[in-house]
Structure 1
Amino acid sequence: MSLFDVPVSLAYALVRALTDGIGPVAGPASATAAIIVFTLLVRLAMLPLAVSAAKGERTRARLLPKVQALQSRHKKNPQRLQRETAALYEAEGATPLSGCLPMFAQVPFFMVMYRLFRSATVAGHQNALLAHTLLGAPLGQNWIGLLGGGLFAPPSLVFLGLLALLAALAVWSSRRAARTAPAGAAGVLARVAPFGTVVFAAFAPLAAGLYLLVSGTWTAVERAVLHKRIVAPAG
């Protein structure tokens, strides 16, 4: 028995119910709409984490001049710079990676969506969600598996559009992270991590890619709102 069996079964029941409920309105796109609603529910549940991350960002922005001073003072001694920076954050009750908490918390949900649309059967029954498509692209198929039909075939174009949107979100997130990212490996991780979604989406089922796109869009809007209401006032 897999660790994901129960979560996948629960997600299957929820997405099926949403698909059936949205069906009369969304028609052939009902499963896609259900995935969008599922993702929005997940992100809504994680809103407290996002608020906490925004407060952490406000603290990091306030400490940035002190961090830059330490970097200038100890630029020839990386070990001491790391110790001094860690001590500064600890004294303020902050952490350089606190802003990544919502992203890390989503990993289990992404894995459940991935497994759901990679499983031919769920709880011993045929996975009816695999019969659904988005503009002709199967929700259970990945982009690499579709390349045999041609790079510019309609199903492949659906993925190319998805990857382009994810890349745009990754660029936005990376540039934003660079403003407050600390020096060293932690800062590099904060700037590079957003591009991981593009790689995942190329190898993941279309449904999982849609999850990443909707979640990434939510993040962009959420951060803009929280930055205005929580982070900006500290300046």
Structure 2
Amino acid sequence: MENSSSDDDSDTLSEGSDLQLFSEHEFSSDTDSDDDTQQTESSMEPDSQQTEATDDDFWSYDLHPVDIAPFTEQVGPDHTLLPDDDLLKYFYLMINKDFFETAAQETNRYAEQEMTRKGYRDSIWYPTTSPEMKAFFGLNIIMGINQKPTKHFSMVDCNLSIAEKLIGDFSSRKRAPSCGRVVAGISVANINRHFSTKLTRPRGRCKQCKKNGRSDTFFGCSICNVHLCRGACFQAYHTYHHLLME
């Protein structure tokens, strides 16, 4: 009788109500499905989060506390630099030269770890080096400069800066081939005044590439008063004479 009355009560609650009564079997099934969902989600987490790193050579998303020893050294300047010392010497006082070697090693280590985790190698990847890391940080410093000498940093300015850094202290016993007379006044201060424009006088030979064959053009530099093909010839001519001035 008690069982029949309880069944009647459940039928009464079910009729006209949005509430649904679940059996113990149904409830346990839902609970099991939730557990399965949690297990599936946990299996989708990155491998680096599931694996406990026991090796210092392993890159992981898990953060660990870092013990920093208290500073006990003598306070005050430890280096004496002359006013005419290169700025790079000041930079290396803050960033040790070994930093770039460490950055290259760790970049290569992380790349190898990621390719191993994904199960295939990147066809265009090759290990980086310390000089390459220096160039990478240098370009990031250049791109992070907010105050520029002009409102517009042109491609010519960028190419000149990169060319000067690449050439550096290079010296050769062989004399560089002459590109014609040296044009006075091409320097960093006024290089932005030189533009490739259509000259008013008739078409003439390009000053830069005429040695490779006849190449006539209407364009050139009005300040240098020479015919120059647009693009590579214009930039090469002005880069050469600018470096002579330096």
TM-score (normalizing by structure 1): 0.21
Max radius of gyration: which structure? 2
Task: Report which of the two has the higher share of helix.
Answer: 1
Structure of greater relative contact order (alpha carbons < 8 Å, 6+ residues apart): 1
